[in-house]
C-alpha cells in the first residue's frame, strides 16, 4: 500500500473515531471536577462521599480516557497539594482536615486515602523535587519521618484502604518512597487491580516505581508494561502500552525513550492508534506525532501533522518543547 493510501485511510479513521468512542463508553459527568473542587474547598464531607459513591463502581471515562474515580482522586489530590509556594502551615492544616474527615467517616476508603495523600504531599514539601544529592540532611529526616507516619497509618487502616482500588495509587507512592523492593510494588499493584481492573492509574504508579531513577531498570519497566497490555488488550488493544511508555518518557526517558528504554516503535504506533480510536483528543494526537518524530517515521508524521495544526499542544512535546516541535518540522521538510 502506498504512503498516500495509508494517509487517506488514517484520515478516514481519525474522522470516525469520535463517533466510535462515543458509542463505546459512557462519559464521565463533565461537572465532576468542578463539584469536587468546590466540595474540598468548602470542606463538604457529605458531597465528597456522594461523589465517591457515584464514581467508585462506574466504568465511565472522560474524553482523555480517565476513569471517573481517577478524575476525582486526581482533582482532590491537586487541591490538597496546594498552590505553588505553599508553606508548611498549609500542609499541616490539610493534614488536620483529612484526619478529621477520616475520623468522621472511618469506613470511607476515600477519606483515609486523602489523609495519606495529605501526608505524602507534606513529606514531599520537605524533600523537594530535586535529585537526591541536592536534598540536605534535615530535609531527608523530615521526609522520612512523615513517610513513616504515613506507612503506619496505612497499616493501621489496611482493611478499609484495601476494600476497593481508591487508595492503591497513594499506597504505591508510600511504598516507593519507603524504598520497598520492586516485587513488592508489583504485588501491591496487582492486588489493587484485583479490586478494580479498570483503574489505569495503578498501572502507571507501579511503572513509575520500576524506573531506573527509583532503583528499577528498563527491563522491569518493559515487563510491567507488557503485563498491563496483556491484562487490558481485550478492552483497549495496545492503548496501555502507548500510554505507559508515554508516561515513562515524561518521568525519565524524555527524548531518549527509544535509546534508553525497551519501547518498540511498532507497538507504540499501534498502541496510539488504539488510543485515538477510543479517546481522540488533541493531547493524544500531539503526543503520537511527537513519538513519530522521535522514531523518524515520516509516513506517520505526515498522517498526523495536519491534525496537530499550526498551534501544537507544547506540553505534549517533552522538555524544550518549542525547539523539539520546530526541529521535527525541519526534519520532515528535508525528507
Residue 3: the pLDDT is 47
CA dist 12 and 85 (Å) reads 47
Question: CB of 191 within 8 A of CB of 183?
Answer: no
Residue 334: the pLDDT is 84
Residue 130: the pLDDT is 78
Residue 59 has pLDDT above 50, yes or no: yes
Q: What is the mean pLDDT of residues 288-311?
A: 95
Domains of the chain: 3-25+85-334 (1.25.40)
Residue 1 has pLDDT above 70, yes or no: no
Residue 87: the pLDDT is 86
Percent of the chain with pLDDT over 90: 84
Please write the tens of the pLDDT for every residue from 105-138: 999 999 999 999 999 999 999 988 777 888 899 9
Q: How confident is the model at residue 254 (pLDDT cuts 50, 70, 90)?
A: very high
Residue 82: the pLDDT is 79
Residue 249: the pLDDT is 98
Residue 84: the pLDDT is 76
Percent of the chain with pLDDT over 70: 92
More confident site: 314 or 18: 314
Residue 160 has pLDDT above 50, yes or no: yes
**Mean pLDDT over the full length of the chain:** 91
Q: What is the mean pLDDT of residues 78-92?
A: 86
Residue 188: the pLDDT is 98
CA dist 59 and 68 (Å) reads 7
Q: How confident is the model at residue 6 (pLDDT cuts 50, 70, 90)?
A: very low
Amino acid at each position: 500500500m502506498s504512503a498516500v493510501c495509508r494517509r487517506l485511510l488514517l484520515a478516514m479513521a481519525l474522522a470516525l473515531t469520535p463517533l466510535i468512542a462515543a458509542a463505546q463508553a459512557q462519559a464521565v459527568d463533565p461537572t465532576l471536577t468542578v463539584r469536587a473542587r468546590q466540595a474540598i474547598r468548602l470542606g463538604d464531607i457529605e458531597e465528597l462521599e456522594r461523589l465517591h459513591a457515584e464514581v467508585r463502581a462506574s466504568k465511565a471515562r472522560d474524553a482523555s480516557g480517565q476513569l471517573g474515580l481517577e478524575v476525582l482522586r486526581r482533582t482532590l489530590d491537586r487541591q490538597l497539594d496546594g498552590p505553588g509556594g505553599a508553606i508548611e502551615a498549609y500542609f499541616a492544616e490539610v493534614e488536620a482536615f483529612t484526619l478529621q474527615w477520616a475520623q468522621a467517616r472511618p469506613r470511607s476508603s476515600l477519606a483515609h486515602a486523602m489523609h495519606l495523600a495529605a501526608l505524602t504531599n507534606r513529606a514531599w514539601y520537605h524533600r523537594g523535587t530535586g535529585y537526591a544529592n541536592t536534598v540536605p540532611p534535615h530535609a531527608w529526616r523530615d521526609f522520612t519521618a512523615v513517610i513513616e507516619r504515613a506507612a503506619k497509618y496505612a497499616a493501621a487502616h489496611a482493611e478499609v484502604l484495601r476494600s476497593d482500588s481508591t487508595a492503591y495509587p497513594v499506597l504505591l507512592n508510600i511504598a516507593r518512597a519507603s524504598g520497598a523492593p520492586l516485587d513488592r510494588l508489583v504485588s501491591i499493584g496487582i492486588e489493587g487491580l484485583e479490586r478494580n481492573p479498570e483503574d489505569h492509574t495503578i498501572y502507571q504508579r507501579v511503572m513509575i516505581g520500576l524506573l531506573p531513577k527509583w532503583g528499577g531498570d528498563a527491563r522491569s519497566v518493559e515487563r510491567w508494561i507488557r503485563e498491563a497490555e496483556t491484562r487490558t488488550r481485550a478492552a483497549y488493544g495496545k492503548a496501555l502500552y502507548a500510554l505507559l511508555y508515554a508516561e515513562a518518557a515524561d518521568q525519565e526517558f524524555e527524548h531518549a525513550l527509544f535509546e534508553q528504554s525497551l519501547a518498540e516503535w511498532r507497538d507504540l504506533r499501534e498502541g496510539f492508534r488504539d488510543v485515538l480510536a477510543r479517546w481522540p483528543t488533541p493531547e493524544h494526537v500531539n503526543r503520537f506525532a511527537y513519538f513519530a518524530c522521535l522514531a523518524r517515521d515520516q509516513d506517520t508524521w505526515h498522517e498526523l501533522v495536519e491534525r496537530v495544526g499550526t498551534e501544537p499542544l507544547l506540553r505534549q512535546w517533552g522538555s524544550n518543547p518549542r525547539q523539539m516541535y520546530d526541529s521535527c518540522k525541519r526534519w520532515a521538510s528535508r525528507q
